[in-house]
Chains A and B, each alone.
Chain A
Amino acid sequence: MTNSDSRETQEAREKLASAASSEVIIELDKVNKWYAQFHVLKDIDLVVHTGERIVVCGPSGSGKSTLIRCINRLEEHQTGSIVVDGITLNKNLKNIDHIRTEVGMVFQSFNLFPHLTILENLTLGPIWTRHMPKAEARETAMKYLERVKIPEQADKFPGQLSGGQQQRVAIARSLCMNPKIMLFDEPTSALDPEMIKEVLDVMVELADTGMTMIVVTHEMGFAKTIADRVIFMDEGDVVEENEPNEFFTNPQHERTRLFLSQIL
C-alpha cells in the first residue's frame, strides 16, 4: 500500500488498528515539520492505540527520530495536529509539561545526569514533578531498578556503569514517572554488541506488561518479536506500514525492499 492510494490506505489502516484495543492514545494528522528550509516530516498520519507496540525504521535522515521527538514536543511541528492522551500539543507550556510526564523517552545517548547517583537520577522526576515523598520515591525507584536487574548499582554514578547498564537505568528512570507511553530513540545504537541483548530483554519484558511503545530501531529481530506494526520511513514520508510478518516477508514498496535487502 502506498500513500497515493488513499482509500485503500484508509481501509488497511482501520484493519491494522482494529487488531489492538480501540482506545486511541496518540493521533497525528497531516503533521509537517521543517528544519529551516529542509522538509523533514511530510504529511504524517499516525494513529496509535493503547497497548500497541510500534517499530519505526528507515535509513538515517528519514525523519524517524524527529517523528517521535515531536510526540513529546522535544521538537515543534509547524502544521497539522498531534493529540497525545487527549491533549493537543501546541504552544501552551502547561500542556507540554503534562504530556512530558505522561510520555517517557529513552535516548540513544542515555542522557543520564552524571552528577547524581543512579538512585537520585530515578527519584528526581517523581519528587520534583509528581511531588512524591522521598521515601516513597526511593521505594518506587528500587522496584524499577530490580525490574531492569541492576538494584546493586543504586548508589553508583552513571560514569561507573557500562553502556548497557546506563541504558537500563534510563529506561527505569522513565518508568519511575509511571508513563502511559514509552518512546525509544535508537536505544541500542550506541551500545557494544555484547550489551544490546540485555537492553532488548528489558524492552521485551516491558512490552509484555502492555505498555504502549514506539521504538525507533534497526534491530529487526526485536521488531519481529514484539511489534504490532512496523512503519518504514524514507525522506520524511511514511512509505510503508504493515504488521511485522507481512512487512518482512512481503514488502510492498520498492524502497522498503531495497532497505530490507541491505540490512537483513
Chain B
Amino acid sequence: MAIVKHEKTPARPAPLTERSVIGWMHRHLFSSVLNSILTIVTLYIVFITVRDLWVWGISDAVWIAESRRECFDINISGACWAGVLAWMDNIIYGRYPREELWRLNLGLIVLAIWMAPLWLPRVKAKILIGLSVVFLYPFMAGYLFAGGEKGIFMQIMLTAAILCLACNTLHSIIGVSGGGGLREFLFRLPVLKDAPEKSQRNILLCLFGVSFVAVFVWQIRWNLDGVPWTQWGGLFLTLVIAGVGIASALPGGIILALGRRSRLPVIRVLSTAFIELFRSVPLITVLFMATAMFPLFMPEGIVLNKLVQVIIAVCLFNACYMAETVRGGLQTIPKGQFEGAHTIGLGYWRTMGLIVMPQALKHMIPNIVGNFIGLLKDTTLVSIIGLFDILGMLRAVSVDGAWRGLHNEPLIFGATLFFLICFVMSKYSRRLEQKLSTDHKH
C-alpha cells in the first residue's frame, strides 16, 4: 500500500530562540553557569580598561600646551597630546623643507586623481589605468618629491606620465558621463569620423605626437629644487617605501611564482633559490646587507643612495614572500581549468592571464592584503638603519627640548594611525572578495 501526501507542506518561520536577541544571548553568552561567569568577568575587565583609557586619553588629557612641563602643570594624570600636535608636521612630512610641502600634497592628489577611475562606474579599460599607475606614476612622483636636474630619460617619462594622466582623466570623465571612453569620443569627432580608415590611424598618431611634443616643451621650463633623500621622513617616507614595495611585490611575486612552477629546470632552480634565500633571512638582515654590502659589489663610480638601496631590498624581500602566496593560490586552481583552456587553443600565457591568474588572485586576496599589511608595518625597520620614517620621527619627539621624555603619547598615536590604515585595508579586502565572488555557493 502506498503512502501518498497530496498537499505541499508550507514553509514556517524558525522558532523564536533562533532569531531574537535574547535567544542569541542565551545561546552565545549564557549557555551554562561557567560561560555566564566568564561573560561577566570579561565584561568587567573590558569595562575598567576602557574607563581608564578614557580618563587618561580623553577626559584628563591636555591638548593645548607649549611644553611637557606645562602639560604637567595643567593635569599630571592625563595624556599630553599637545606634544604630538606640535610635532604633527614632522611626524607626517619628516624634515622635508617646509616651503616645499605642497609638492608632497600635490603628489598625493595626483595619485588620487589617477587612481579614482578604478572605482568609478562605467569606466572602461581599468586594467590599463591600473598598469599606468604602477608604471608611470612613480616617475612623476619621483620628480615631484626629489626635484633637481632632469635627465633626458626622466624628461621623456615625465612627459609620458603627464600625457597619460591627462588622457586618463579625460577618458574617465567621458566614461562616467556615459560616452564610452576616449577612443569612442575621438572617433565621434568629425575630423576622424569622416576620414578613411587608413588615415584615421595617421591622424591619431599625429595628435599623439603633437601633444607629446607640446607637453615635452612645456615641462623643460618646469624646474623644482632638489630635495636630498636625507630630508625625507615621517609618514611620507613610510608610505613611499611601502607604496613602491606594494606596487612591485605583486608583479614580482607573480613572475617568481611562475618561474618556480616552470618546466624549464634552469628557470625553476634559479627562482626557487632566489625565493628561499630571501625568505630564510630576516628583513633587517636584508636591509643591513643592502646598505652595507651592496655598494661593495657595485662597479666603482656608481653611488646609489641609501634610500634606493633600501627600497630595492624591500621590493625583493616582499616579491619573494608574495611569490609563495601566489604559488599557493595557483595550486587551488584545478587541473581541469588548464585543460579547458588548452582545448580552446589558448597557449601558456593566455591560459595564465585569462583563466588561471584571475581565479587564483581572487582566492589570494586575503593573503595578498595580509602581505601588504605586513609590508607596511615592516617598513618601520628602516628606522634602525638610520632613516627617519614615521617611527623614527615618533621617537624623536622625546629628545626635543620642550617635550623631553614624552615617549608614550607619540607611540600610541603612531599605533592608532597604523591600526587605522591596516584596518581600512583589511576591511576593503573583505569587500573586494565579496564583490568579486562568482562562486554562487550557498
How far apart sit A132 and B3, CA to CA, in the bound complex (Å)? 59
Contact B438 A159 (CB under 8 A): yes
CB-CB under 8 A from B441, the residues of chain A are 159
How near does chain B come to A68, taking the closest CB pair, in angstroms? Answer: 11
Contacts of B52 in A (CB 8 A): none
B359 & A114 in contact (Cβ 8 Å cutoff): yes
**Contact across chains for B350 and A74 when beta carbons are under 8 A apart:** no
A114 & B438 in contact (Cβ 8 Å cutoff): yes
State in angstroms the CA–CA spacing of A128 and B350 once bound together: 8
Asked whether A244 is an interface residue with its Cβ less than 8 Å from the other chain, the reply is no
A129, B345: Cα distance in complex, Å: 6
* Contact assessment for A111 and B340 in the assembled complex, using a CB-CB cutoff below 8 Å: yes
Closest to B343 in A: A105
**Neighbour of B337 across the interface among A93, A103, A113, A160, CB < 8 A:** A113
B27 to A: closest C-beta gap in Å: 32
* CB of A151 closer than 8 Å to a CB of B: no
Contact of A203 with B by CB under 8 A: no
A contact residues around B381 at 8 Å (CB): none
Give the chain B neighbours of A109 by CB distance below 8 A: 334, 336
Do B440 and A113 touch across chains, with their CB atoms under 8 A apart?
Answer: no
CB of A160 within 8 A of CB of B358, answer no
- The verdict on B439 contacting chain A, using a C-beta distance below 8 Å, is yes
B362 touches A (CB below 8 Å) = yes
Within 8 A of A (CB), among B131-184: none
Q: B342 to A159, Cβ gap below 8 A?
A: no
Nearest CB to that of A128 among chain B residues? B350
Within the assembled complex, what's the spacing in Å between the Cα atoms of A159 and B438?
7
In the complex, the answer to whether B345 meets A125 with C-beta atoms within 8 Å is yes
Interface pair B336/A129, CB less than 8 Å apart: no
Question: Are A159 and B345 CB-contacts (below 8 A) given A107-B339, A112-B340, A113-B340?
Answer: no
Of chain A, the residue at the smallest CB distance from B362 is A115
Closest to B355 in A: A113
Interface status of B110 (Cβ within 8 A of chain A): no
Which B residues are CB-close (under 8 A) to A128? 346, 350, 354
- In the assembly, what is the distance between CA of A125 and CA of B342, in Å? 10
Residues of A within 8 A of B337 (CB): 111, 113
Are A115 and B438 within 8 A (Cβ)?
yes
Which of A111, A112, A128 lies at the interface centre, i.e. has the most chain B CB atoms within 10 A of its CB?
A111
Determine whether the beta carbon of A159 is less than 8 Å from that of B336. Answer: no
| Residues of chain A contacted by B355 (CB below 8 angstroms) | 113
CB A148 to nearest CB in B, in angstroms, measures 16
Write out the residue numbers on chain B whose beta carbons fall within 8 Å of the beta carbon of A72: 342-343
As a 0/1 sequence over residues 200 to 228 of chain A, the CB contacts with chain B under 8 angstroms (1 = contact) are: 00000000000000000000000000000
Please, what's the 1-or-0 string for B354-394, where 1 marks a CB less than 8 Å from any CB in chain A? 11001100100000000000000000000000000000000
Q: B343 contacts A124, CB within 8 Å?
A: no
A176 to B346, CA, bound (A): 14
B78-91 to A contact mask, C-beta < 8 Å, 1/0: 00000000000000
| Contact digits for B325-355, partner A, Cβ 8 Å, 1 yes 0 no | 0000000001011011111111100100011
Q: Report chain B residues within 8 Å CB of A114.
A: 359, 438-439
Q: Please name the residue on chain B nearest to A117 by beta carbon.
A: B438
Among residues of A, the one whose C-beta sits closest to the C-beta of B344 is A125
Residue of A nearest to B353 (CB): A128
> Is the CB of A100 closer than 8 A to any CB of chain B?
yes
Q: A111-B336, A111-B339, A115-B358 are known contacts. Are A97 and B345 too (CB-CB below 8 A)?
A: yes
Is A173 an interface residue, CB under 8 A from the partner? Answer: yes
Q: Per-position contact with B for A110-140: 1 when CB-CB < 8 Å, else 0?
A: 0111110000000011001110000000000
- Would A157 and B438 count as touching, CB distance under 8 A? yes
Looking across the interface, which residue of chain A has its beta carbon closest to that of B438? A157
- Who on chain B is nearest to A157 by CB? B438
- Whether A104 is near chain B, meaning CB under 8 Å from some CB there, is yes
A234 to B138, CA, bound (A): 63
Interface centre among A93, A98, A103, A115 (most CB of B within 10 A): A115
Cβ–Cβ contact B354 & A159, under 8 A: no
Chain B residues contacting A111 (CB-CB under 8 Å) are 336-337, 339-340, 343
| A101 with B438, Cβ < 8 A, contacts A74-B339, A111-B337, A112-B340 known | no
- Indicate if A174 sits at the interface (CB-CB under 8 A): yes
* Minimum CB–CB distance for B123 against chain A, Å: 19
**Cα–Cα distance between A112 and B345 once the two chains are bound (Å):** 14
CB <8 Å contact, A174 and B343: yes
A32 → chain B closest CB, angstroms: 22
B362 proximity list for chain A (CB < 8 A): 115
CA of A125 to CA of B343, assembled, Å: 9
28 pairs, A vs B, C-beta closer than 8 Å: A72-B343, A74-B342, A74-B343, A93-B347, A97-B347, A98-B345, A100-B343, A100-B345, A104-B343, A105-B343, A107-B340, A109-B334, A109-B336, A111-B343, A112-B340, A113-B337, A113-B341, A113-B355, A114-B439, A115-B359, A125-B345, A129-B346, A129-B350, A130-B345, A157-B440, A159-B438, A159-B440, A173-B344
Q: Which 3 A-B pairs have the closest CB atoms?
A: A125-B344, A111-B340, A101-B345
Chain B residues proximal to chain A, CB less than 8 Å: 334, 336-337, 339-347, 350, 354-355, 358-359, 362, 438-441
A-B contact sample (12 more), CB < 8 A, given A72-B342, A72-B343, A97-B345: A113-B355, A114-B359, A124-B344, A124-B346, A124-B354, A129-B344, A129-B345, A129-B350, A159-B438, A159-B441, A160-B440, A176-B344
